A and B are shown apart, each in its own frame.
Chain A
Amino acid sequence: MAEVLVLVDHVDGEIKKVTTELLTAARRIGEPAAVWVGEGAESGKARLAEFGAEKVYVAPAELNDYVVAPKAELLAKLANDASAAAILVSATPENKEVAGRTAVKLGSGVLTDVVDVDAEIVTEHSVFGGSTITHAKVTAGIPVVAVRPNSVAPEAAQGAAVEEEVSVELSDAAKGAKVTERVVQEKGARPELAEAAIVVSGGRGVGSDDFSVVEGLADALGAAVGASRAAVDSGWYPNQFQVGQTGKTVSPNLYIALGISGAIQHRAGMQTSKNIVAVNKDPEAPIFELADFGVIGDLHKVAPQLTEEIGRRK
């Protein structure tokens, strides 16, 4: 069976959930081969094996010193050497760029923001703010597919996870943009927005930069915090937490929208969430069209009561 390369997302050896989702999807197509860049493969390997990785390619951390291009050179080389059936990456902004460059190198095609992929590498997409479902495929070369986190249910299956060290001679062009510093701004220990199983977002209705009503509920649920564009534009919450058309796209099992009207700008970033709960004062707010459960009321009353209720039921 042909190899399916899966680019591993990890933070210092701890692999992200999306990688287990990608390995699960890869098994439909062929034999999953994980591609690990940087330190920590030793500690992460067991989990890759648990989700069916037959092979783990380990590439040096230096590839992270430059923007995107080195990973593309690595993936293109591995894909060519192994005559891979496909390359799967998570549909994060960075990995979509990796996917694009890799496909250019391979002379193949790239499909992004995929919400499902089958054995024939036909992909499903939710487009135009979730109003349209499309299916697509790559028609030339080795398909490069970027899958949205939380789209594929991870299923365990034992793999051998045979480690193989790989190196790649980087071209000068790949070394053009050097990362000279990494600045961590994320606050607290909440799950990452794109990956979180539950997201609680606040919008205009929060009314100020005091997001504690949103954060309190999020923490009670072990959720990530998001914000609408209105809240971010008002300076109430940092930009990297913005959910929507020009922010992040999330697809959690549960999305709770507090004081968010649900303009297309926001819907485009959360419409594929499995369960949607909305709290809004305005009974006409379009968010209620999406909601599985909605409360017409003041979020400053409803959310604290909910937070307390969750605490009581734990």
Chain B
Amino acid sequence: MGVQGGWPPAMNIVVLVKQVPDTATERKLSSDDKTLDRAASDGVINELDEYAIEEALLLREKHGGEVTVLTMGPDQATDSIRKALSMGADKAVHVNDEALHGSDALQTAYALSRALGRMEFDLVVLGSESTDARTGVVGAALAEYLELPQLTLAGKVDIEGRAIKVQRLTDYGYDVVEAQLPAVVSVVEKINEPRYPSFKLIMQAKKKPVEKLTIADAEIDAAKVGLANATTETVDFAPAPPRAAGTIVKDEGDGGTKVADFLAEKKFV
């Protein structure tokens, strides 16, 4: 196991982050090409990514090493990079290319795998899903592309030397999963409590290096990314029909009975 602050770094950890529309604002698809309308809502870092960053920082504190943020997205994604750096990540890589616009989950995993291919890492950490697309497949697909052990949906991570052990959340509780580094880990929100950036770290973050990559730099095949080459297509979209207004009553001591009447009417009792 490495010594904190030693050189070369004891463990290179790459954290994946994604800028998503704020779930507190109205989210829309663009009528032009049926992709996310990024202008319609404020961009924020995907909430689960903060847990991934926190886990990476905790592992760095324990084992020493370096945390690199990797993101793919348009210019606005720099906000999420800054957030990750101000939490304490050391540096960042930003893959930003118009050709990536409209990429689906699998194309995103492919592009990230290419960017990772030119980086040195022991561990890739990401959130188990994003709050916008919510596919939950990027971690698994990334492990497939990289041919690395998939340690996803982790509620707990332990590393000892090159051995990694996680608790993978399941319907019935969890599975204990073991592998050798390097590996891909996705985290669920019970894993930790993300820290707030300190003023000092926020100031420092402005000076941390952010490497910009085009798809050519990252050797991403242009024919495998972007809306035109996506393996899925949004055929159409529309606002969900509003739910018919329900019956709302004030409890006058018979609220439970009234619900029972409703349930009986709907044949649930």
Q: Which residues of A contact B (CB under 8 A)?
A: 67-69, 72, 92-94, 96-101, 103-105, 107-113, 122, 126-141, 173, 176-186, 192-194, 198, 221, 232, 239-240, 245-246, 253-254, 264-265, 268, 275-277, 279, 283, 288-298, 301-310, 313-314
Contacts and interface: CB of A to CB of B under 8 A. Distances in A.
Nearest to B232: A109
A97 B240 contact: no
Contact of B231 (A134, A138, A186): A138
A290 B180 CA distance: 47
B148 A110 contact: no
21 contacts: A68-B150, A94-B153, A104-B106, A104-B144, A110-B105, A131-B239, A132-B29, A132-B240, A134-B234, A134-B236, A137-B233, A139-B231, A178-B177, A246-B48, A268-B131, A290-B243, A293-B249, A307-B256, A313-B260, A313-B264, A314-B269
A133 B236 CA distance: 8
B232 A139 contact: yes
A97 B256 contact: no
B106 A96 contact: no
A254 B249 CA distance: 18
Interface in B125-155: 128, 131-132, 134-141, 143-145, 147-153, 155
Size category of the binding interface on chain B: 35 or more
Contact of B177 (A127, A131, A177): A177
B99 interface: no
Contact of B248 (A246, A291, A302): A291
A94 B170 contact: yes
B174 to A, nearest CB: 5
B266 interface: yes
B172 A186 contact: yes
B171 A192 contact: yes
Given A177-B183, A185-B172, A296-B249, A67 B150 contact: yes
B152 A97 contact: yes
Contacts of B66: none
B251 interface: yes
A305 B254 CA distance: 8
B178 interface: yes
Contacts of A296: 248-251
A96 B256 contact: no
B223 to A, nearest CB: 12
Nearest to A176: B149
A131 B144 contact: no
B251 A139 contact: no
Nearest to A304: B256
Greatest chain B CB density within 10 A among A101, A113, A173, A179 is at A101
Contacts of A308: 256
Nearest to A136: B234
Contact of A103 (B231, B244, B263): B231
A8 B262 CA distance: 35
Interface in B14-58: 23-24, 26-29, 34, 47-48
Contact of A136 (B140, B149, B177, B233): B233
B190 interface: yes
Contacts of A297: 250-251, 255
Contacts of A72: 144
A312 to B, nearest CB: 8
A279 B259 contact: yes
Contacts of A176: 143, 147-150, 179-180, 183
Contacts of A110: 105-106, 135, 137, 231-232
A105 B144 contact: yes
A314 B268 CA distance: 10
B231 A293 contact: no
B137 A100 contact: yes
Contact of A293 (B132, B238, B259): B259
Nearest to A135: B235
A314 B264 CA distance: 10
A295 B151 contact: no
B7 interface: no
B248 A181 contact: no
Contacts of B167: 183
Contact of A173 (B109, B147, B249): B147
B64 to A, nearest CB: 24
B175 interface: yes
Contacts of B134: 112-113, 127, 245
B173 A185 contact: yes
A245 B244 CA distance: 23
B218 interface: no
> Which are the 3 A-B pairs with shortest beta-carbon distances?
A297-B251, A305-B256, A109-B231
Contacts of B105: 100, 110, 112
Contact of A132 (B183, B238, B258, B268): B238
B144 A264 contact: no
B23 A129 contact: yes
A313 B266 CA distance: 14
B143 to A, nearest CB: 7
Contacts of B240: 126, 130-133
A264 B26 CA distance: 11
Given A185-B174, A264-B24, A135 B144 contact: no
